[in-house]
Each structure stands twice: as structure tokens, then as C-alpha cells.
Structure 1
Amino acid sequence: MIHEVRDQGDCGSSWAVSTSTISSDRLAIISDGRVNATLSPQQLISCNQHRQRGCEGGYLDRAWWYIRKLG
């Protein structure tokens, strides 16, 4: 039910990788495994541009806002 650890490589995207992985795990836990989606950190890196810097770094609170409001 818990997803694998992801490798962010040389990209400073821990803010996106951790947020998307935790969200994926929470969905699996709350649904008792019925929802087993792997959410994409690339979505946060590429599309969540409000004061985020992609591979140059970002903010967890803004990543959580993006997931809550825009999915």
C-alpha cells in the first residue's frame, strides 16, 4: 500500500517528490488500498509555478495548496 521511495536525481525537487509521495500514500491508506495512485512530482514541478522554482527548490506549503485546490 505504501509507495516506493523515489530518486529525485540532481533536481532540487524534494518539496515536490515528498509531497506527491505522501499524498499517494495517504490516498492508499484512507481508501484501504482501493485507491493506489502514484501521483506525479513532475506535475508540481512543471505546473505549480506560483513562487516555486522547479528543480531550484520550492515550498511544501505551496505544494500542499496546489494538491488540495487543483489535484
Structure 2
Amino acid sequence: MADKKQPSANQETGNELVFTKKNYQLLLISIAIVALGFVLMMGTTDIYDTRKTLIAPLVVLLGFGFGVYAVLKK
């Protein structure tokens, strides 16, 4: 008879992970970037400060974009 291919250990138990360690690291970095953006929005200074109205929202959006990249990266 022909040789039967032996399934690997992950295929037998169904414990194949969707994300790799690198994906989780990138996801944690994106969470840190989003948190940094929200920290930049805090404060008791002028509400119309450039840091609060322009820079911080851009940092948050950058963090969300990086999170999407972290999820889609193979």
C-alpha cells in the first residue's frame, strides 16, 4: 500500500494558533501607541491646543492602523 502521511501534532489535536508571537507583539505595540495618543489628549491646558486637537488624534489613528496591520500580517 501507499505510504499514508502522518498528520502533525497540531492537526491531530486542532490546536493550531491563528496568530504568531510576532502578531501578538505588534498588537501590544499598537495598543501602546493608542494609549500614548489618549495620554497626549489629557491635561488641563487650553482645549484648543495643537497637541490635543491635531497630534493626539493622529497618534490614535496611527495606533489603530498599526493594529489592523498587526492582525493582517502573516
Please classify the TM superposition score into its range, dividing by the shorter chain length: 0.3 to 0.5
* TM-score, with length taken from structure 2: 0.32
More helix by share: 2
